[in-house]
Structure 1
């Protein structure tokens, strides 16, 4: 945070603002710290500082987070699932093991219910036949009573909702064949990312940056940036908060803004390249629109046709409810806005994806689905992320912006 002490708060990056909020909590002498998504927008140094403090702090701490690096250092995880709080003792690795075990138990329990319902239906038919055959009033009454009891038990069991579960992909791969097949029937619905895997694409250079130096005023923010990015490759832009990562991305996309100065070097993006961008903030001109209208607008703004049927399908693929479709973008939750940004990024079947902290606000199943889709993607990826799990999945060359 050197050099920012006297700058206006509004001029700081998202990660710098978040770190200031955490520092305020550190020095508050509180007995209990309640922290919502603390590491979103933080760089790798600030995030590690937060994790180190969290591990040594005297305060009791309740943290809302989907950051697996943070979850790996907690003592207990409480998951909101099906309207209930489920507690898991231990860190993220322990959670994954316990979740897998509980899922197997839950599947067994519901399959026992299904078998019992089949058995009860057969019993009801049997009691009806026996009732019709009998001439003994006492026996008839007995079968009537047994039929009634069976119907009541069946009605009660039919009220039990079929459960759904999520197990991380690595744990699924460790399951035996039969359990994995059963899990497929119970797997919770997840987002469906419409990322085409076009193996016919070539490997020509889409982005070339040579000895680039950008900055404001008389001093460059960074210098010596070199990128050669081809289809099928990934490049990570890595740097501290305020180092200029977002400035670099915006300049690549739109050219230098009025206050940005190119001190040296050049940037070239193939003009024929279809680009999909995942940004941390949604364009202001979409915030007042209902979800359906915003999807239509972002397609039409790019000269792309879209039908009402396609809009409804996109909403379903990204887990938006019927009520969500008429909700203004500004009123969506952080996770819902992130899913909308995925729709926006993929609208034009891009050859080049530019992602700025895409895992912020997404839940764990959605993050895993995004990682899987990007690993299969045959286009080029330029990304910024401080999620170590995500970075490990995508890999690629690392381009350092500013000091490490």
Structure 2
């Protein structure tokens, strides 16, 4: 379907891809993985024609319809949410008008050869219209918007009234509504909650029949969708048959085999070079020396790929808190509305959070999960009821809002120095390095950092203080898979208490031992793992 053959691409002196090849095959779902900066987004831009290869060839049928979702929403204004979504299929709607015009023309008498030509064009147009799902465009657009959390009440809302995250959902809805032959998705789950992720997962598995190439930091989502992985790393693309978990296992096997081959080759080269050095000056061994020199010149040297840099940190042993960390009594929160009314977020929450519990707060989008965390963290006041912190409880709070309030004029080093003023420069530099801000990177200004880098800075500030109660609102949102795994491992080992909101199901399955569900303003408590919660909640619905 789409073939990238021996492509090379570089920016200045930085080589991104060097004679790399990969294929997008009909109906095959492929995951694109690799470290940040390896070239994943570059491959998307090369396929869409936004950029050109330096050498090599990209072949694709002219009739192939591409749909590309990136993290750029573009300009959105002057339309409703539904109109904006429908704008993506303007070509198909124009095709419908053309078909109608041809049907009108066929009612008028004409010469046989003209009618034959018209019928041929009409047949081609109908086939294309049907192929693009033209008969149910508006129904499909509404279904996609609803699946992504934008219901009928919001179809006619001006698109500019939506926040950035919701505009991302509309941008994704536009691409899905196209129903393309090849779907290119760059981090489609970044701004989705669990319900929307589950809907997208089902849509891709059951409704979408085309080819898929996607990146995602959501391990469960990737495992559920793809049957093939392409790893972009070390200037090349390597294909693995299987899902993400299979790729991790197979990559480790290949890495060990490569390392063994490298060591064997190094031993052989050392022996040959030793022989050449010992007998180079002896005439009696001249022929043998020359033969071995020529042999070494012809050998293709095995190169080991550089080790990928990952976060390396451990939460310090927290001071022991009391067994009762937080007591909640008839806790409630409402927001004042512009029209003078009130919106109840949750109410009547009573219960106890105990030491060393790892609790997930779950619920549909807009249920009040983040607000509940803010109340417990002291970021906003409860409207009713009370919160009592236990003895010696020290709270650390992470949220997307925390990233926004970082001082953009400060450097990474200065940001950490502010929260640990008594520590030596070397200690602060070591903490910077643990979160991949090494050397000059520690002197980068916050305003120049990516979302993932800002997340790492906020996480680093949590390590700078002796905390025993971590309240985490979407801590994995901007982190790559490797960073997520390291954060997961450290939270599993953390001996304090954790309360978190996350849409990463792998994270929830692997970490939590209690679940709090907010549903229509009420809180339900589940004393068990995330799997236990899923089983019980399904049973309640039945």
Give the TM-score category using the shorter length. Answer: 0.7 to 0.9
| Maintained 8 Å contact 2:326/2:354 | yes
Match of 1:70 among 221, 224, 227: 221
| Maintained 8 Å contact 1:233/1:381 | yes
Match of 2:442 among 322, 325, 339: 325
Root mean square deviation of aligned Cα? 3.0
Q: After superposition, where does 1:53-202 map in structure 2 within 5 Å? A: 53-55=203-205, 56-72=207-223, 73-128=225-280, 131=281, 134=282, 137=283, 139=284, 141-142=286-287, 145=290, 157=301, 161-163=303-305, 188-198=308-318, 201-202=320-321
CA–CA distance in structure 2, aligned partners of residues 249 and 334 of structure 1: 21
CA–CA distance in structure 1, aligned partners of residues 201 and 236 of structure 2: 27
Number of the residue aligned with 2:532: none
Deviation at 1:52, TM superposition (A): 1.1
Q: Is 1:269 the equivalent of 2:420?
A: no
Match of 1:307 among 424, 428, 451: 424
Q: Is 1:213 the equivalent of 2:311?
A: no
CA–CA distance in structure 1, aligned partners of residues 158 and 422 of structure 2: 44
| Maintained 8 Å contact 1:276/1:346 | no
Decide which structure has the larger Cα Rg and report it: 2
Unpaired runs of at least 5, structure 2: 1-148, 337-341, 521-536, 538-542
Q: Is 1:383 the equivalent of 2:533?
A: no
Q: Is 1:234 the equivalent of 2:384?
A: no
TM-score, structure 1 normalization: 0.79
| Maintained 8 Å contact 2:169/2:191 | no
Match of 1:25 among 175, 180, 194: 175
Number of the residue aligned with 1:356: 473
Number of the residue aligned with 1:39: 189
CA–CA distance in structure 2, aligned partners of residues 210 and 25 of structure 1: 46
Match of 1:370 among 487, 502, 513: 487
Number of the residue aligned with 1:295: 416
Deviation at 1:95, TM superposition (A): 1.7
Deviation at 1:389, TM superposition (A): 1.1
Q: After superposition, where does 1:331-342 map in structure 2 within 5 Å? A: 331-342=448-459
Deviation at 1:40, TM superposition (A): 2.0
Deviations 1:195-237 (A, max 9, x none): 1235x72542222222322121323112233342232111111
Deviation at 1:379, TM superposition (A): 0.4
Deviations 1:236-269 (A, max 9, x none): 1111221111111122223536xxx61x322223
Change (3 A) 1:394 1:27: same
| Maintained 8 Å contact 2:259/2:304 | no
SS at match of 1:223: strand
| Maintained 8 Å contact 1:13/1:241 | no
Deviations 1:27-81 (A, max 9, x none): 2344443322221242211110111112231343332211112211113222222
CA–CA distance in structure 2, aligned partners of residues 46 and 104 of structure 1: 39
| Maintained 8 Å contact 1:221/1:402 | no
CA–CA distance in structure 1, aligned partners of residues 461 and 487 of structure 2: 14
SS at match of 1:319: coil
Number of the residue aligned with 1:182: none
SS at match of 2:331: strand
| Maintained 8 Å contact 2:179/2:208 | no
CA–CA distance in structure 1, aligned partners of residues 163 and 397 of structure 2: 19
Number of the residue aligned with 1:222: 346
TM-score, structure 2 normalization: 0.60
SS at match of 2:330: strand
SS at match of 1:78: strand
Change (3 A) 1:29 1:149: closer
SS at match of 1:197: coil
Deviation at 1:376, TM superposition (A): 1.0
| Maintained 8 Å contact 2:473/2:502 | yes
CA–CA distance in structure 1, aligned partners of residues 355 and 298 of structure 2: 60
Change (3 A) 1:19 1:13: same
Deviations 1:338-363 (A, max 9, x none): 22222022211211111111222222
| Maintained 8 Å contact 2:451/2:478 | yes
| Maintained 8 Å contact 2:279/2:285 | no
